[in-house]
Structure 1
Amino acid sequence: MRRNFLIVVIILLSATYISCNRTMYPSDMYKVNNKTKFSPNEELLNSSQPVIHKGDILSISVYSNKGENILHPLGTASDQIINQNESSEFTVDDSGYVNLPKIGKVFLLGKTIKECELIISELYSENVVDPYVTVFVKNKRVFFLTGGTSQSGVTIKYENDNTTLVDIITTAGGIKEGKAYAIRLLRQTPDELKFYNIDLSDFSQAKYSYIRILPNDIVYVEPVHRPFRKFIQNVAPYLTLVSTGLIIYNLVKN
């Protein structure tokens, strides 16, 4: 009877856990039931330009005379309107504006670096002779996440605008227990949130290793699931409890 009871308990627990994927794998993220929700990967092969986001810290320098004193450092201090120090860093507020000396608030949200430089140069041209502007995002970062038993996450800061997906994976320590054929890439564009599924297990898809990463991208590697091992881990405490209960019952009965 004891043996039959244990078998029934195991069957019930198995059905419960196997039927409820969320119970077995509560740390899984970005699940997609409809594969048509993925954006076409071909879009990633285009040379996308990073755009300004809320919270970006911009290092902005404005020089007069087309930046002549960059090539000739003996120029006067007045040739540089915004210096290369702490005061040259400006944070994009929640409304998409930065507050610059002498010209006030400027809307830069969703603009590329080149567009920002042109906008700022035009605004300063009223006060500066032949302004030369450089804009650099100081807090560029990518978020790398993995699920499963080796669940971890890391924020990777980078400076090179040509940083690729394989650069990020390598910096994060590689794909240990994840699916190389299920790498999710989330990218916020000015219009919508894009969701891509990248398969790097197939050599024919190797070209996607070198797609350019943009600031604030999220890279998530779907974990490899081992249902039997997970089931044993989850059920073992219950089986121990039931077995202990049966032993106590038999001792009391006898």
Structure 2
Amino acid sequence: MAKQNLDMTIIKVITPIILVLTVLMTGCGVNSNLMFKTPKDFAGYDSIPMSPAYEYRISPDDRVELKIYTNNGSKLIDFSSGGNTNETAIARSSNISLDYLVRKDGFAELPVIGDVLLSGKTIQEAQETLKTLYSSQYVDPFVQVRVINKRVIVFSGNGAEAAVVPLVNQNTTLMEALALAGGIAERGRSKHIKIMRQTPQKREVYLVDLSTLDGLYYADMIVQANDYIYVEPVKQISREVVQEIAPIITVISSAAVIITVITTLK
């Protein structure tokens, strides 16, 4: 009887210690998928830009769509016919558009004129550069350039889910970007939406609250290429702790039962 009481005492003492150690060991894994944490006094609501303060500049790995018209826009040059430099080479369809990759070195290989440095230029600057270069081959060229792989990354607030949203329209709003990503997830906090935007100096962080009608003003802010839109998820501490320690509790309980049975049979 004394031995049985001793065994039960050991079990009662060891079990809480194991549970405490288990919580301490698993605590670092609870809500570990949360990103971009900011202090509670973070002043990210100040000076939220409703439209981009900086014009987008072409970057390496961008794909640029190029259209060129002669006579200041009256004729579309057809590059699909093998790069004929004759200005009378007109596209079979006005819907033709070809795109070209901006390489790591910032250059893009374009028809007729070869390599051209496009990285670092705004769309307007690129069009002016190409207009000058193509003037040696065509009469009064009219150049249109468009970056076709501009996108934003949206984390909808479900922790593990994200979406890459192409910016088809130049004036895509925050609300449109969220809608294209599937909206705010059930676990997402509409009160804490972070927009992280790259500027020439650093990546700025803005906080937007869409939980009330007052936030409708910020829903119309224009997103910019390479913005990160992060809907902060609701923390689920108790649920995740239980999920982490449930298997260990099961093992401890099973061990306690086995020890009790063995002790009783002695």
Query: Take 2:66 and 2:105, find their aligned partners in 1: how far apart are those partners?
Result: 19
Match of residue 45, structure 1, among 50, 53, 61 = 50
Query: Take 1:199 and 1:91, find their aligned partners in 2: how far apart are those partners?
Result: 38
Match of residue 232, structure 1, among 242, 245, 261 = 242
Identity of aligned residues (%): 29
Is the 2:31–2:237 contact (alpha carbons within 8 Å) kept by the matching residues of 1? no
Structure with the higher fraction of residues in helix conformation: 1
Indicate yes or no: 2:80 matched with 1:69: no
Partner residue of 2:110?
A: 100
Is the 2:106–2:118 contact (alpha carbons within 8 Å) kept by the matching residues of 1? yes
- Higher radius of gyration, 1 or 2: 2
What's the TM-score, normalizing by structure 2? 0.78
Offset from partner CA, 1:140-159 (integer Å, 9 cap, x none): 222212455x5212222231
Indicate yes or no: 2:173 matched with 1:164: yes
**Secondary structure of the equivalent of 1:110?**
coil
Indicate yes or no: 2:154 matched with 1:144: yes
Is the 2:127–2:145 contact (alpha carbons within 8 Å) kept by the matching residues of 1? yes
Within a 5 Å distance, the mapping from 1:80-119 to structure 2 comes to 85=96, 88-119=98-129
Instruction: For residue 251 of structure 1, report the CA deviation from its aligned partner.
Output: 1.1
User: Which residue type is aligned with residue 33 of structure 2?
Assistant: S
Partner residue of 1:216?
A: 226
User: Which residue type is aligned with residue 44 of structure 1?
Assistant: P
Number of corresponding residues: 241
Offset from partner CA, 1:202-241 (integer Å, 9 cap, x none): 4433322111122222212121012112211112111111
Instruction: For residue 5 of structure 1, report the CA deviation from its aligned partner.
Output: 4.9
Is the 1:61–1:84 contact (alpha carbons within 8 Å) kept by the matching residues of 2? no
Partner residue of 1:204?
A: 214
User: Which residue type is aligned with residue 183 of structure 1?
Assistant: I
Is the 2:31–2:236 contact (alpha carbons within 8 Å) kept by the matching residues of 1? no
Query: Take 1:55 and 1:39, find their aligned partners in 2: how far apart are those partners?
Result: 31
**Secondary structure of the equivalent of 1:114?**
helix
Classify 1:35/1:135 alpha carbon distance in 2 versus 1 (closer, same or farther; 3 Å): farther
Classify 1:217/1:55 alpha carbon distance in 2 versus 1 (closer, same or farther; 3 Å): same
CA RMSD of aligned residues (A): 2.8
**Secondary structure of the equivalent of 2:259?**
helix
**Secondary structure of the equivalent of 1:143?**
strand
What's the TM-score, normalizing by structure 1? 0.81
Query: Take 2:90 and 2:132, find their aligned partners in 1: how far apart are those partners?
Result: 17
**Secondary structure of the equivalent of 1:197?**
strand
Is the 1:64–1:79 contact (alpha carbons within 8 Å) kept by the matching residues of 2? no
Which shifted more, 150-159 or 174-183?
A: 150-159
Is the 2:45–2:208 contact (alpha carbons within 8 Å) kept by the matching residues of 1? no
Instruction: For residue 52 of structure 1, report the CA deviation from its aligned partner.
Output: 1.5
Show structure 1 runs of 5+ residues with no match.
71-75
**Secondary structure of the equivalent of 2:49?**
helix
**Secondary structure of the equivalent of 1:50?**
coil
Partner residue of 2:182?
A: 173
Show structure 2 runs of 5+ residues with no match.
1-8, 77-86
